[in-house]
Every structure is written in structure tokens, then in C-alpha cells.
């Protein structure tokens, strides 16, 4: 990550990241105050990102998911659509500049 300091602040990707972290810290502080004031129990910082649902759908295979072996039974891996039994007709000769892409 490359960073240039201007007027005591980092610019570029690292500066934007630091600014976002400040907003996240402010939001977490506000959430903690509200939880304390109204005697609520929140999900915590990790819970905000990861969630604690009984069922989580991951639209890729476990093999393609980074650290996929670490996901427990609450996570279901697979495509977001069912496979078609029949093959559709497609006129490949009409494609002038074919580009190969991967669709999961």
C-alpha cells in the first residue's frame, strides 16, 4: 500500500481506509452508548460484519471461498440458480470477438 502524507493526513487508498476506520469507530461508540442507555444487547463489531444467522447462503463453492474449510454448518455453498437440464441453442458463429469469462 502506497501512502503520501499531506498536511498530516495520509492520501490515497491508505488515507481513505483510515478515514473509514474513524467513521466505523464513531458508529461503534454511538452503538455502545445506545446499548448502555437503553439496556440493549448488540451483535458487537464482529457480529455486525459476520452476522449470526442460522442459515447463510454463499453464492460460490466452498472450494472457491477463501478459508472455506473454516465455515460451519450455518453456511450453505452453491449457485444462486438451479442447473438447466436442457442445453440452449446458441449461434456461436455470430460472435465476432469471443471472450471467455467464468460465471459462478
Quote the cell numbers at residue 23. 467513521
What gap in Å lies between CA 12 and CA 8, rounded to an integer?
Answer: 13
pLDDT score recorded for residue 81: 67
**3-class state of residue 56 by DSSP:** strand
Mean pLDDT by 10 residues, the chain (104 residues): 46 77 87 89 72 80 88 84 72 76 66
pLDDT score recorded for residue 10: 52
* pTM for the whole structure: 0.36
pLDDT score recorded for residue 37: 92
Question: Which residue bears the cell 444487547?
Answer: 41
pLDDT score recorded for residue 6: 47
Q: Which residues pair with 96 in a beta bridge?
A: none
CB 61 within 8 A of CB 77: yes
**Phi, psi (deg, nearest 5) at residue 28:** -65, -40
**3-class state of residue 6 by DSSP:** strand
What gap in Å lies between CA 11 and CA 78, rounded to an integer?
Answer: 40
Amino acid at each position: 500500500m502506497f501512502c503520501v502524507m499531506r498536511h498530516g493526513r495520509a492520501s490515497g487508498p491508505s488515507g481513505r481506509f483510515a478515514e473509514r476506520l474513524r467513521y466505523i469507530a464513531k458508529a461503534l461508540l454511538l452503538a455502545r452508548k445506545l446499548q448502555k442507555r437503553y439496556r440493549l444487547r448488540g451483535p458487537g463489531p464482529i457480529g455486525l460484519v459476520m452476522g449470526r444467522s442460522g442459515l447463510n447462503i454463499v453464492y460460490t463453492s466452498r472450494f472457491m471461498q477463501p478459508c472455506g474449510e473454516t465455515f460451519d454448518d450455518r453456511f450453505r455453498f452453491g449457485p444462486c440458480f438451479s442447473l438447466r437440464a436442457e442445453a440452449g441453442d446458441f449461434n456461436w458463429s455470430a460472435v465476432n470477438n469471443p471472450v471467455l469469462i467464468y460465471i459462478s
